[in-house]
């Protein structure tokens, strides 16, 4: 009976979260109630809670987590500086006369925004507001238009510098060290955010390529669903001016991406240092676009503070939850369950990925990262799973979950800004092919883990 208490704690937390209560207080409050009842029943030792101050001090002094508010600031500032609007206008002029040209433009701009901001909701909403009315007005099938916007918007989950990867890197680092200590390795290796960034680069670019190939196939097979733009505004565009606008629109965000991501991959800067460079670069980019007024700066600071406080409050609540979970022997229960599943390591991984996929319907990536990964991570890593590969699999799995009807977060974001003539059924139908491409990417990663591990090994271990 005692073995069921940790599982009951997990189920109750999920139910409280689904009821709509604030995440941080749901985690901490439910854990404290279970700890109190467990102490009364003699099944919980309150000494576990004495470790909470050390946990909080570790969060406050964690240099890696400083990157979170900096990356959030960078993303929000770029959202306010009309980078997406200028990029989309320029890309439309560049590709508009091709069948499917608007679809290619949305995908590429979504990729650049993902690499610049790493915030899924902001990307989907921005692209939905800017591009969906234009695509519909140009005769695009609403299903294809909705699908490409949702899919390109979720690239922020996997294309670095992603906030998801920053948080995953910190959690997996702790889980990896704990797994090695459990195995008797007292000089444990580490996994860093830079490892995850480099590991996500190839899978992320492969996903973008899959999207573009699919759009090209649809444009070839169903040209009426993705027509070319043949009006005078694109047909008579001066090529010299167009090239100048392309360079002007593309160069600043590309330089920002290279400065942030390149400095991390080259080992010049830590993720936190690179995030500060990105924040300054976003301000300079906003200044160049004449979008850096005092009012905008106040809005950006308020939004950054709000998001950052939410992340760290959830982290504190998750720390208390994990202490109580371990106090009830939950880590041993999970290890026993995963080790007893048929299929060995494959069965454990499949069950974990399925659980995270389903939780992605009702929980945000932050809750899953802070609650689920610390529970299952040490067990899977102790079974011999590569931490970088596991992190990339989790990120793409959650990206797929956020696209999947009926509860995918990206679908809710787009539904909130889509015109009334675009039905929910059309949005659901539009994302189905992209979900298939996501599953193909997950399958390829499962069969060939080197897709995620080759570049980190090349950069950091040679």
pLDDT at residue 462, rounded to an integer: 59
Digit-coded pLDDT (tens) for 21-47: 787 888 889 989 999 988 888 888 888
pTM greater than 0.85 (yes/no): no
Closest CA to 410 of 114, 110, 125, 108: 125
- pLDDT value at position 120? 63
**Are 415 and 427 a contacting pair, CB within 8 Å?**
yes
Q: Where are the domains of the chain?
A: 43-313+348-460
Rounded to the nearest angstrom, the gap between the alpha carbon of residue 318 and the centroid of all alpha carbons in its chain is 19
Q: Enter the tokens of residue 451.
A: 């897709």
- Determine the pLDDT at residue 442: 93
Quote the pLDDT of residue 1: 59
Give the number of other Cβ atoms within 10 Å of residue 258's Cβ: 12
> What is the predicted pLDDT for the residue at 375?
83
Using CA atoms of 353, 113, 162, 157 in order, give the dihedral in degrees to the nearest 10. -10
User: From CA 209, how far away is CA 138, in angstroms rounded?
Assistant: 24
Predicted confidence at residue 237, as pLDDT, reads: 54
Closest CA to 376 of 181, 179, 190, 183: 179
Residues (pLDDT < 70) of the chain are 1-2, 84, 96, 115-122, 230-240, 362, 407, 461-462
What span, in angstroms and rounded, lies between the C-alpha atoms of 419 and 136? Answer: 10
> Apex CA 461: angle with CA 453 and CA 264, to 5°?
80
User: In angstroms, rounded to a whole number, what is the distance separating the alpha carbons of residues 180 and 172?
Assistant: 12
Give the pLDDT confidence of 172-181 residue by residue, as tens digits.
Answer: 888 888 888 8
Gap between the Cα atoms of 212 and 175, Å rounded: 36
Asked if omega into 83 is within 30° of 0 (cis), the reply is: no
Q: What is the dihedral of CA 175, 177, 180, 186, to 10 degrees?
A: -160
Q: What's the rounded Cα separation, in Å, for the pair 59 and 209?
A: 38
Count of residues in the chain: 462
């Amino acid at each position: 009976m005692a073995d069921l208490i940790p599982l009951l704690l997990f189920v109750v937390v999920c139910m409280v979260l689904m009821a709509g209560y604030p995440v941080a207080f749901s985690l901490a409050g439910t854990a404290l109630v279970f700890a109190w009842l467990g102490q009364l029943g003699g099944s919980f030792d309150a000494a576990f809670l004495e470790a909470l101050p050390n946990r909080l001090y570790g969060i406050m002094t964690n240099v890696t987590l400083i990157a979170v508010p900096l990356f959030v600031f960078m993303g929000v500032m770029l959202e306010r500086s009309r980078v997406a609007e200028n990029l989309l206008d320029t890309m439309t002029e560049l590709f508009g006369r091709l069948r499917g040209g608007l679809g290619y433009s949305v995908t590429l701009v979504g990729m650049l925004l993902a690499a610049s901001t790493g915030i899924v909701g902001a990307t989907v909403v921005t692209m939905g507001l800017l591009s969906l009315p234009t695509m519909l007005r140009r005769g695009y099938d609403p299903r294809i238009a909705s699908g490409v916007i949702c899919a390109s918007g979720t690239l922020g989950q996997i294309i670095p510098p992603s906030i998801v990867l920053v948080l995953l890197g910190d959690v997996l680092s702790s889980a990896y060290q704990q797994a090695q200590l459990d195995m008797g390795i007292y000089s444990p290796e580490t996994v860093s955010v830079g490892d995850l960034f480099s590991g996500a680069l190839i899978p992320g670019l492969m996903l973008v390529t899959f999207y573009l190939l699919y759009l090209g196939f649809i444009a070839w097979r169903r040209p009426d669903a993705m027509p070319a733009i043949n009006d005078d505004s694109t047909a008579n565009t001066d090529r010299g001016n167009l090239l100048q606008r392309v360079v002007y629109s593309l160069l600043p965000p590309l330089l920002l991406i290279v400065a942030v991501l390149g400095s991390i991959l080259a080992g010049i800067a830590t993720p936190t240092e690179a995030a500060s460079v990105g924040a300054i670069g976003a301000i300079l980019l906003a200044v160049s676009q004449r979008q850096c007024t005092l009012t905008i700066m106040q809005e950006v600071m308020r939004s950054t503070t709000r998001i950052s406080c939410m992340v760290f409050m959830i982290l504190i609540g998750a720390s208390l939850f994990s202490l109580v979970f371990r106090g009830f022997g939950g880590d041993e229960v999970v290890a026993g369950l995963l080790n007893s599943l048929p299929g060995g390591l494959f069965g454990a991984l499949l069950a974990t990925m399925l659980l995270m996929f389903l939780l992605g319907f009702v929980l945000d990536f932050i809750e899953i990262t802070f609650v689920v990964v610390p529970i299952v991570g040490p067990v899977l890593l102790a079974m011999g799973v590569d931490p970088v590969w596991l992190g990339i699999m989790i990120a793409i799995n959650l990206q797929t979950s956020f696209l999947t009807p009926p509860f995918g977060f990206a679908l809710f974001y787009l539904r909130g800004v889509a015109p009334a003539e675009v039905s929910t059924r059309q949005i659901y139908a539009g994302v189905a092919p992209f979900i298939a491409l996501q599953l193909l990417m997950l399958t390829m990663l499962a069969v060939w883990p080197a897709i995620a591990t080759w570049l980190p090994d090349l950069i950091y271990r040679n």
